[in-house]
């Protein structure tokens, strides 16, 4: 029993430290993507080995993945802006084409959400460029749809928890990342890694 309590306390402490590092590195806003990539990278190493130095691993991964995750962040912001702009413009259309366009952009938004779930786990697991990460995130998120939906529910639950219990912000992001990576990484083992390049 003592061993289980120790492991539980160690997990909570690691999750707290990782969560704190992520929050601090996200403060400049522009570093959200590098910080999130580093967090998922730490989670991957954490799952591979129980004894991990969260602090040093986080900053090492933050530095290693900064360039490509920063570029990915710019791409994501541009696409988000375009998608929101399309919805706003479509809403001003008065013809029946409006509903067709809404349906198209809604489906595009769903795909965007799916890819957003998988993009970080794919980047840190396969260690590929952001272009290949996007391509494979699309394929994996659709082929492992049940994992994708469960991951969305995990993230949504974490956000709701933070809304009603602000103190949960000190643990919810890292634990959500841990659960999401644990879930979506199952799909990696069913894919032919030779196609990930």
* Residue 191 banded pLDDT, cuts 50, 70, 90: low
CA distance 159 to 141: 21
Is the Cα torsion angle 102, 103, 107, 108 positive or negative in sign? Answer: negative
CA distance 148 to 141: 6
Q: Give the residue extent of every domain in the chain.
A: 2-195
Alpha-helix runs per DSSP H in 97-129: 97-126
CA distance 70 to 99: 35
Per-residue pLDDT tens for 65-105? 999 999 999 999 999 999 999 888 888 888 788 888 889 99
pLDDT surpasses 60 at 194: no
Phi-psi group of 29: left, alpha or beta (phi > 0 → left; psi -120 to 50 → alpha; rest → beta): left
pLDDT surpasses 90 at 39: yes
CA distance 65 to 35: 9
Distance of CA 182 to the CA centre of its chain: 12
* Residue 147 banded pLDDT, cuts 50, 70, 90: very high
């Amino acid at each position: 029993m003592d061993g289980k309590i120790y492991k539980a306390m160690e997990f909570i402490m690691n999750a707290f430290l990782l969560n704190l590092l992520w929050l601090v590195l996200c403060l400049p806003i522009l570093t959200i993507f590098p910080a999130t990539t580093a967090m998922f990278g730490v989670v991957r190493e954490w799952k591979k080995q129980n004894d991990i130095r969260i602090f040093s691993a986080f900053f090492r991964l933050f530095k290693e993945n900064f360039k490509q995750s920063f570029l990915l962040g710019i791409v994501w912001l541009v696409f988000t802006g375009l998608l929101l702009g399309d919805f706003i413009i479509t809403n001003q259309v008065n013809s029946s084409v409006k509903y067709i366009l809404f349906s198209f952009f809604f489906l595009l938004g769903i795909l965007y959400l799916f890819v957003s779930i998988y993009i970080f786990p794919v980047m840190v697991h396969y260690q590929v460029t952001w272009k290949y990460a996007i391509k494979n995130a699309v394929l994996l998120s659709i082929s492992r749809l049940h994992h994708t939906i469960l991951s969305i529910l995990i993230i949504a639950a974490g956000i709701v928890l933070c809304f009603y219990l602000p103190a949960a912000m000190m643990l919810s992001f890292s634990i959500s990342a841990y659960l999401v990576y644990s879930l979506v990484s199952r799909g990696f083992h069913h894919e032919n890694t030779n196609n990930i390049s």
